Structure 1
Amino acid sequence: MSKVRTRFAPSPTGRMHVGNLRTALYAYLIAKHEGGDFILRIEDTDQERYVEGALDIIYRTLQKTGLVHDEGPDKDGGVGPYVQSERNATGVYLKYAKQLIEQGDAYYCFCDKERLESLRSRVSEDGTQIVVYDKHCLHLSREEIEANLAAGKPYVIRINMPAEGTTTFHDDIYGDITVPNEELDDMILIKSDGYPTYNFANVIDDHLMGITHVVRGNEYLSSAPKYNRIYEAFGWDVPVYVHCPLITDENHKKLSKRCGHSSYEDLLDQGFVSEAIVNYVALLGWCPEGNQEIFSLEELVKAFDYHHMSKSPAVFDVQKLKWMNGEYLKAMDFDTFYEMAEPYIRDVVTKGQDLKKIAALVKTRIEIFPDIREQIDFFEELPEYDLSLYCHKKMKVTEEKALDVLKETLPLLEAQEDYSNDALYETLKSYVDEKGFKVGYVMWPLRTALSGRQNTPGGATEIMEVLGKEESLRRIRQGIVRLEER
């Protein structure tokens, strides 16, 4: 078998949708699993949808995710250009379209907009209206065609699809699929602006670039017979098709661009890390052997077998992604974590406390970086809190007993010079042992007075280390006053 070559061929139309990222990832994994090549090709034939800066987004996304391409606009592998508008300028698409005309497999179509709008239409599976072309221009005489061309009449070039019988094609995920030929419209190959359509350019480029496996979303399944018609007309080998299942939201609706977490950069903005996004996206339609869920990119390359992809829609479960992201944050080295967490901490804490100590407290307790804010806001300002927080049934702490603990530990903490976590813990542990209490019986009231929160990152002594002696004592004294006034 020839060397595996896959391609990712995005359009520069904005942020990279999760579905496009998965296509890129699967194409990369299929190639790298077999020691093959992964090619980047830019499909900019739809000039109306071009978005300024979108090309930079594509490069940035591939670089951040680790999906390094072997060939592309910036890495010539000898089969470029790798940008379709540049390829179009060479006349390659028109050349092949005219070859099909000469073979009788394609034809010029001069129908204007009004005539096309008068044709019958049908509704596709996704609800869009499709005009069914009636092959009117297929029957024009050579003289009529030449006269129209000489007069400069606008035209498109269409493929001549069979109108009767059926066409069967094979996909490595969905198997053999048979469609009635009457459903296959004579699709346009070259548009009136001289640009190739997405479908035609894909076939020409995939063949000329030696692409062996075509990876794309299953919304293109219905186009496969049209692609095959072009391959067969040229006598070219048809590549292996790998159509990926649909990605839906939690309500089983197609994940749309309007969804708040539909693009890679949306997810970065929401505090997810790149490695977790890539890991999670890999599992949207592919099931690894065994129970492993956390994969590095290198592990994915080794484990990925596209034959284990699913036909069923994959649900984008944000909660599952958050869990996975939390696992990545726990495993991350501290310096990297702090660099990423610092802006979120500075958003909340402005009073000169040790931000690294705060980062260390939250590292294993958050799933995404924005979680930091609600975890640490009490460091900046003691919130209003209900005195019932001092009570803890399991530890048999009441408001009255909490008051006793605060009053008895206050002088110990006032005398304490070393406000490091370990030193504070030793002091309080001595008090606990002396009194015969359980550690939680003493720490619970202290933590409540220090934080005004039921749940905190870190215990009482860790909080005091961050707050420092002066602020810790102020909050404990305030707790005593409030409990005495109740």
Structure 2
Amino acid sequence: MSEIRVRIAPSPTGYFHVGTARTAIFNYLYARAKGGKFILRIEDTDLERSSQEMVDVILDGLNWLNVRWDEGPYHQSRRYDLYPPFAEELLLSKRAYRCFCSPEELAAKRDDAQKNKQTYQYDRSCRNLSDEEIDANLNQGKAFTVRLKLPIEGQASFHDEVLGEMTKAYEDLDDFILVRSDGRPIYNFAVVVDDLLMKITHVIRGNDHVANTFKQNEIYDALGKQRPVYAHLPLLLRPDRSKVSKRKGDKSVTEYRDDGILPDALFNYLALLGWSPKDDREIMSQDEMIRVFDFKGINPTNAIFDPVKLSWMNSQYIMKTDNHSLVQLITPFIIEADLATKYWIETRWQWMLRVVEVLKERCTTLRDFAENGSYFFKADFEYDPQGVQKRFTAEGLADQLEQARKEMKKYYEIKKDIAEKIVREKAEEFGLKPAALIHPIRLALTGVTGGPGLFDIVEILGQPEVDRRLSRAIEFIRNLD
């Protein structure tokens, strides 16, 4: 069997969305599972809408996801000289023809169809021009497009590895354009030529391309070339079952990165949208997926992209990540939040390891470490207003916290077991339940009412910082009176 070759061919005309990323992942997994090659092609023939910036976003996103291509990136816009010989071959074999209809004539025919509430199809008026008529038009310098000559009767069909047998009546297909009047190839023609030249054996893409597949197969047949194997993937939908769309606020791949999603987590989540290893596993490495990936595991039903489920999966990957790596990963977010400098973090590495250890089980993204743990780095926070009403208004609380503060200050280094012993003994001395002191002390030290265990926080902050924050809170409480 010849080498399996697959490709991802995004257009750099918009953001790199999760649907394109999922398609890339499926191609990558199939190539690796079958010992084949994964090719990256940039379909940038829409020069007005394409940009290098968008190309860079695609490359950046794929690299971040650890989706490594074996060849490319090839740019369609740099391959224009490769398409004319194929068009000429089709013209010589009479499988295509020149269409001299002007844009104005075609627009008028389209308008007539609309007025009569009919579906517009090209009427094939140039399909059977004689050689003399063609030469006369060429001699007059008339502009022309190149159209493919399709059968008029019967059915077009192909087998899809996911969708099964697909058919369409030729009466629903018209003689579509292959080459524009300016010589540029139409998308479907360029795709077929590129796939032939790159020896693509399997085309794996979204099921919104099925209509293109019918057209592309006709081009393969007209050229006398073997069709590739097709696998059309289910689309990704939002929870409301509409298509994933930037206009609706859906994020690009790089936005998920910037939000603190781990690449392995997003890869894992996208791979399981529409494909299953046929067991109950949800957390899988790339290597584990490669070992079991095949078309049989793809479900043709459109899949729901659920950001909540992605956050859960990301939290599982955070828990799996060692603390040294986590400190490295969260450092940009700490710096971005103006909580510390890179030098500050690097010179307090062991302390940072303790911070991530107590925060990691409560974080679903890397950004959460900065947002949920900002009090480890800054002491000038405001107290949560609801927390103040609930935790700072008990009678005699300032004096009780003052006594607890003085007791803690006796220790140069205060461990969590010592801190817990002090708080519980003081609560008993005051005739209170321990929670009556634990909650106010937490608010005093962090400004919030929830988070890691209080005594872990006390040990990480250290006695001098605990003393300063308790003194600040005591003064704040006294001023409430």
State if a TM-score over 0.5 links the two structures.
yes
Amino acid in structure 1 at the alignment position of 2:44: D
Contact 2:17 2:253 in 1 (8 A): yes
Listed one character per residue, the Cα deviations across residues 5-61 of structure 1 (whole Å, up to 9, x for unaligned) are 111122233432211111111111111111111112222222222212333333322
Q: TM-score, normalised by structure 1?
A: 0.86
- The aligned runs of 1:314-329 (5 Å cut-off) are 314-329=303-318
Classify the secondary structure of the residue corresponding to 2:43: coil
Listed one character per residue, the Cα deviations across residues 93-144 of structure 1 (whole Å, up to 9, x for unaligned) are 2111121122221111121111111124799xxxxx9842111111222122
Alignment partner of 1:106 is 2:60 = no
Aligned counterpart, 1:41: 41
Amino acid in structure 1 at the alignment position of 2:362: R
Classify the secondary structure of the residue corresponding to 2:276: coil
Contact 2:66 2:263 in 1 (8 A): no
- The aligned runs of 1:376-391 (5 Å cut-off) are 376-378=373-375, 379-384=378-383, 385=385, 386-390=387-391
Classify the secondary structure of the residue corresponding to 1:189: strand
Alignment partner of 1:367 is 2:403 = no
* Cα deviation, residue 468, structure 1: 4.0
Alignment partner of 1:305 is 2:294 = yes
Identity percentage over the alignment?
38
- The aligned runs of 1:27-426 (5 Å cut-off) are 27-73=27-73, 82-89=74-81, 92-120=82-110, 131-346=120-335, 347=337, 349=339, 356=352, 357-378=354-375, 379-384=378-383, 385=385, 386-390=387-391, 399=394, 406-421=401-416, 424-425=419-420
**Size of the alignment, in residue pairs?**
465
* Cα deviation, residue 462, structure 1: 2.8
Q: TM-score, normalised by structure 2?
A: 0.86
Contact 2:40 2:69 in 1 (8 A): yes
State how far apart, in whole Å, the 2-side matches of 1:274 and 1:381 are: 34
* Cα deviation, residue 244, structure 1: 1.0
Alignment partner of 1:448 is 2:443 = yes
* Cα deviation, residue 414, structure 1: 2.0
Contact 1:280 1:324 in 2 (8 A): yes
* Cα deviation, residue 214, structure 1: 0.3
Amino acid in structure 1 at the alignment position of 2:233: C
**Gap runs ≥5 in structure 2:** none
Contact 1:348 1:376 in 2 (8 A): no
* Cα deviation, residue 464, structure 1: 2.8
State how far apart, in whole Å, the 2-side matches of 1:16 and 1:482 are: 49
Contact 1:155 1:192 in 2 (8 A): yes
State how far apart, in whole Å, the 2-side matches of 1:222 and 1:424 are: 69
* Cα deviation, residue 68, structure 1: 1.4
Listed one character per residue, the Cα deviations across residues 245-269 of structure 1 (whole Å, up to 9, x for unaligned) are 1111121111113243342112112
State how far apart, in whole Å, the 2-side matches of 1:296 and 1:405 are: 52
Classify the secondary structure of the residue corresponding to 1:258: helix
* Cα deviation, residue 171, structure 1: 1.0
Listed one character per residue, the Cα deviations across residues 379-417 of structure 1 (whole Å, up to 9, x for unaligned) are 4334334445339xxxxxx93596675354232112121
State how far apart, in whole Å, the 2-side matches of 1:344 and 1:5 are: 39
**Gap runs ≥5 in structure 1:** 74-81, 124-128, 392-397
Contact 2:439 2:449 in 1 (8 A): no
Classify the secondary structure of the residue corresponding to 1:229: helix
Contact 1:216 1:244 in 2 (8 A): yes
- The aligned runs of 1:454-465 (5 Å cut-off) are 454-456=449-451, 458-465=452-459
State how far apart, in whole Å, the 2-side matches of 1:364 and 1:263 are: 26
